[in-house]
Structure 1
Amino acid sequence: MYTYIMRRILMLFPVLFGVSLFIFVVMRVVPGDVAQTILGTDATPAALKQLRQDFGLNLPLYEQYLNWIGGVLTGDFGESMRTGKEVLPDILNRFKLTFELTFLSALISWVIAIPLGIIAAMKRNSNVDFGVRIISLLGVSVPNFALATVLILILSLMFSYSTPVGYVGFFEDPMRNLEIMVIPSIVLGTAMAGAVMRMTRSSVLEILRQDFIRTIRAKGAKERVVIFQHALRNAMIPILTIIGLQIGTLLGGTVIIEQIFSLPGLGQLVLTGITQRDFMVVQGAVLFIAFVFVMINLLVDILYSYLDPRISYK
């Protein structure tokens, strides 16, 4: 197991190298002059030249990349071209909100999806099953930004709800924090629940058809024992796979929800960096998101071996 983990960690380097090179090139080929964007149309040629020199934009591309990636390897993600602040502390600060939003959304998704998926599998082709399948189809089909807009409209008309302004950390004021985070978490959790629900239903159904389940039932085991101690554990691997992918996607894909609810998370930081052509912010944030994503995939792979003893990593 330890050998496998070390091998996977070593594999992170070529993956992150590819991501860093890709985002570096993409930011440079986007049309427009970043110095002109920052200083405005009234900037003098001397001011533009000085700004390019300050940020190293006058250097060849390979030198710019080597300077940036060399700093990343030492924990220095550079400074924002707009604010002059260090990029890494800002990323970590924004990541706290995005992580909380992802965690709450995933928790809501699991609470909704896994029980309903199990019930649908147990009552296959019944009205309950059809109802769960319709709900899961809606969850997969309806975009989260559309669901957020409709939910805000309904709550504002029926309960005079208004989107909270500003953000308060959980440890500063837990109740205020949950008041801010609960609606966006419900929106993202509902969108996640559709896919998890469908996967739970299909995986449990497949396991329930296996011979060992018939043997367990023939021995007189209660249905609750059959489902939760035998069927669900064996069905968890594909469910865990899709959960891991969704969490990794959410950590970098909450930008629309953060924009709608005015949440200063990592997604909003990337969007602002893109619109302002802030190379360092975008490059650092994308590389950080890629790192978190591959670490989540590693964690999911490790959990496989605990869920299924037949899986061993050497």
Structure 2
Amino acid sequence: MYAYILRRLLMLIPVLFGISIFIFCTLRIIPGDVAQTILGTDATPEALAQLRKEFGLDLPLLEQYLNWMGGVLLGDFGESMRTGKEILPDILSRFAITFELTLLAALISWIIAIPLGIIAGIKRNSKTDFSVRIISLLGVSVPNFAFAIVIIMLLAIYFSYSPPVGYVGFFEDPITNLQILILPAFVLGTSMAGAVMRMTRSSILEILRQDFIRTIRAKGAKERVVIFNHALRNAMIPILTIIGMQIGVLLGGTVIIEQIFSLPGLGQLVLTGINQRDFTVVQGSVLFIAFVFVIINLIVDLLYSFLDPRITYK
């Protein structure tokens, strides 16, 4: 087990190295830079050259990359070109908001998707099954930003309610915190629920056809015991896989929802950095998101052995 974890952690090195090269080169391809953003279109070439020199943008690309990666390897993600503040503390504080939103959305998704998926799998081809399949198809098909806009409009028109603006930490005021996050989390959670629901249904159907399920039923076990003690546990591996992938994607993919609900999360930080051509902010944020995504995948892989003792890692 420990050797497997060590190997997976060592795999982080080439993965993050490749991502760092990709994001560094991609940002340099985008027209414009932070100097043009700060000084505007009327800036003189001399002023632009002076500001670029201060930011180190006049150096060869390879030297810029090595300077940046050298700092990252020492735990220094650099400073924002716009504000001059250190990036890492800002990334961590913004990530805490995105992480809380993601966990709340995942919890809502599980509460909706897993019970409905189990019911659809048990009652195959019934009206309930068809209803669940339609709901899951809508969850997969409707973009979360479109659903968010519709929800906001309906609440405003029929209930004169508008989502709170800003953010208050959970430990500062738990009630206000949940009031702020519950609507965006519900939007993200329902979008996640569609895929989880479909996977739960298909996994339950596959397991219920297995010989060991027929044997358990033949021994007189109650249906509740068959479903929850045997079928669900064996069906959880593909469900856990898609849940882990969704959580990883949400940690870096909540940018639109954060923008709609004015949440100062990591996604909004990346979007602002792109708009302002703040290269160091975007590079550091994307690299941090990639690191977290790989760690989540590792945790999911380790949970497989807990769900199925036949799975071992050496």
Residue 308 in structure 1 maps to residue 292 in structure 2 = no
Residues of 2 paired with 1:174 and 1:310: CA distance? Answer: 42
Q: Which residue of 1 aligns with 2:192?
A: 192
Q: Is the 8 A contact 2:136 2:194 kept in 1?
A: yes
Q: Which residue of 1 aligns with 2:217?
A: 217
Residues of 2 paired with 1:257 and 1:300: CA distance? Answer: 25
The aligned runs of 1:93-108 (5 Å cut-off) are 93-108=93-108
Residues of 2 paired with 1:2 and 1:19: CA distance? Answer: 26
Q: Which residue of 2 aligns with 1:275?
A: 275
* Letter paired with 1:240: L
Which consecutive residues of structure 2, in runs of 5 or more, have no partner in the other structure?
none
Residues of 1 paired with 2:206 and 2:193: CA distance? Answer: 20
Q: Is the 8 A contact 2:199 2:239 kept in 1?
A: yes
Divergent runs of 4+, >3 A? none
Q: Which residue of 1 aligns with 2:62?
A: 62
Q: Which residue of 2 aligns with 1:145?
A: 145
* Letter paired with 1:208: L
Residues of 2 paired with 1:96 and 1:212: CA distance? Answer: 44
Deviation at 1:86, TM superposition (A): 0.7
The aligned runs of 1:25-174 (5 Å cut-off) are 25-174=25-174
TM-score, with structure 2 as normaliser: 0.99
Name the SS for the 1:258 alignment partner.
Answer: helix
Residues of 2 paired with 1:223 and 1:203: CA distance? Answer: 17
* Letter paired with 1:253: G
Residues of 2 paired with 1:33 and 1:136: CA distance? Answer: 43
Q: Among the aligned pairs, what percent are the same residue?
A: 81
Name the SS for the 2:311 alignment partner.
Answer: coil
Deviation at 1:38, TM superposition (A): 1.9
* Letter paired with 2:97: L
Residues of 1 paired with 2:116 and 2:130: CA distance? Answer: 11
Out of 302-311 and 192-201, give the one that drifted further: 302-311
Q: Is the 8 A contact 2:163 2:183 kept in 1?
A: no
Deviation at 1:39, TM superposition (A): 1.4
Name the SS for the 1:310 alignment partner.
Answer: coil
Residues of 1 paired with 2:265 and 2:21: CA distance? Answer: 24
* Letter paired with 1:8: R
* Letter paired with 1:36: Q
Deviation at 1:53, TM superposition (A): 1.4
1:37-96: CA deviations, max 9, x gaps?
221123333322221111111111110000000000111111111111111111101001
* Letter paired with 2:143: P
Residues of 1 paired with 2:311 and 2:102: CA distance? Answer: 28
Deviation at 1:97, TM superposition (A): 0.6
Residues of 2 paired with 1:33 and 1:117: CA distance? Answer: 49
Name the SS for the 2:272 alignment partner.
Answer: helix
Deviation at 1:122, TM superposition (A): 0.8
Q: Which residue of 2 aligns with 1:293?
A: 293
Aligned length: 314
1:122-143: CA deviations, max 9, x gaps?
1111111111111101100111
* Letter paired with 1:116: L
TM-score, with structure 1 as normaliser: 0.99
Name the SS for the 2:118 alignment partner.
Answer: helix
Name the SS for the 1:118 alignment partner.
Answer: helix
Q: Which residue of 2 aligns with 1:234?
A: 234
Residues of 1 paired with 2:265 and 2:240: CA distance? Answer: 26
Residues of 2 paired with 1:235 and 1:66: CA distance? Answer: 46
* Letter paired with 1:86: E
Residue 256 in structure 1 maps to residue 256 in structure 2 = yes
The aligned runs of 1:195-210 (5 Å cut-off) are 195-210=195-210
CA RMSD of aligned residues (A): 0.8
Residues of 1 paired with 2:25 and 2:202: CA distance? Answer: 42
Residue 5 in structure 1 maps to residue 11 in structure 2 = no
Which consecutive residues of structure 1, in runs of 5 or more, have no partner in the other structure?
none
